Chains A and B, each alone.
Chain A
Amino acid sequence: MRHRPRGEHIIRFDGVGLRYGLGPEVLQDINFALPSGSFHFLTGASGAGKSSLLRLMYLGLRPSRGRVMLFDKDIALTKRYELPALRRRIGVVFQDFRLLDHLSALDNVALPLRVRGVRESEVHKHVPELLGWVGLAEHLNARPSTLSGGQKQRVAIARAVIGRPDLLLADEPTGNVDDHIAMRLLYLFEELNKLGTTVVIATHNEHLVGRFAHHSRLHLEHGTVRQGS
């Protein structure tokens, strides 16, 4: 396990704004800092910009203005060849999963490991174990197109956490599963959080946020973020 000094900020936004192309600013003046090892829900109405904010956090987009600090590095000043190393420390569950349809569930989950050059023997040890944990032991070789929405979501989550990320970003990770499985997934995120992973979960599900009310909340409204607990 990597050494992570507690109390330091794993990610920090200063005066960040974002616009798509020539459109209006979707995010305006975003300021917040997440301490290493913290757990947050990111809430806000549909279209408030939750996915956009996560996209900025996982380096899928560059801000139109302001400064993004990730793992104590100013992204604007980071060399292109250094970015993959930063991205490998982030696990992402995309809102639309983004599974590769021509690969089996196992190969999808193995991606982050293979990209890192992890040995195949390791891959074949850890990936089935994790897929078993999310209840997909029977579906290791299934193509995503043959899985249900909830099963796809669990494959996507397994892919996000297989590399033991320092930062886990999940966009509506419980949107397609029943309450029982949603709880189970959140427990998985909490387990990871206990191991030191900083977790940010974007969700509409107030019921779920209420069940885990001890975690802090980032609320998006009118293009800015309000940090509460």
Chain B
Amino acid sequence: MIETNRLGVSYRGQPALTDLSVTIGGGFTAVIGPSGAGKSTLMRALNGLIPAGSGQVLFQGTPLGRPGSALLRIQQRRMGMVFQGFNLVRRLSALENVLLGRLAATSPWRSLSGWLPHGERELALHLLDRVGLADHAWQRADQLSGGQQQRVGIARALAQQPQVILADEPISALDPKSAAEVMAILHGIQAQDGLAVIANLHSLETVRRYAGRVIALRAGQLVFDDVPQRLTDNVARELYGQDALPGESQEPGGNQELPPNVHFASA
């Protein structure tokens, strides 16, 4: 569905992703890696928010269009993004925020008039109901709790009628209870609606619980790509460095040997 082909992205000459080739199909894919590994950069590159410096990103077999092109906008519409900081337009209501997901399907000049095509509002309300927020539709986004805002964010992404959800640390800013609710919704989207979900996650516990596949980045390179069962504590320790297992106890244990298909970049 989404494929990167020797993708490289750099910020002012500093490489953030190098030579990354990976194909992601359906299911729930977790992207992990230490801070600064390039996880957010990968998400933004997959969506085309930042152009590839070298190599390419393909969505359903077609290379992403150039920045500003109509092709890219059509492709972006099929990829709903969910953000760590929710990124709702704070002064708009929950419902209006969900309707933002319909913009790409509306002609720009008509969207200026504020007039909604038939059924758009119903769709948005239905999606809010789906994330458990039908009662909050007319509340301003900045008056919702973090967990509620993130659920509005998911509803907004779903309003695009996407084929993929790209979630950049969707639960890092949330308390455990809200995080569990958000993960359950993301899981439902994948399991029931058959959308592909790609999520940057920090807690290995969450990764093991929800992901069908784990991709690990370190220093902009792919260093692990396997089922979560192979993501042993040792692998994780190697990935994050000796003293950091995010969100987990640091007791030794698990498999002492690296799985054969793990190849760490020489540090």
Q: Do A and B come from one complex?
A: no
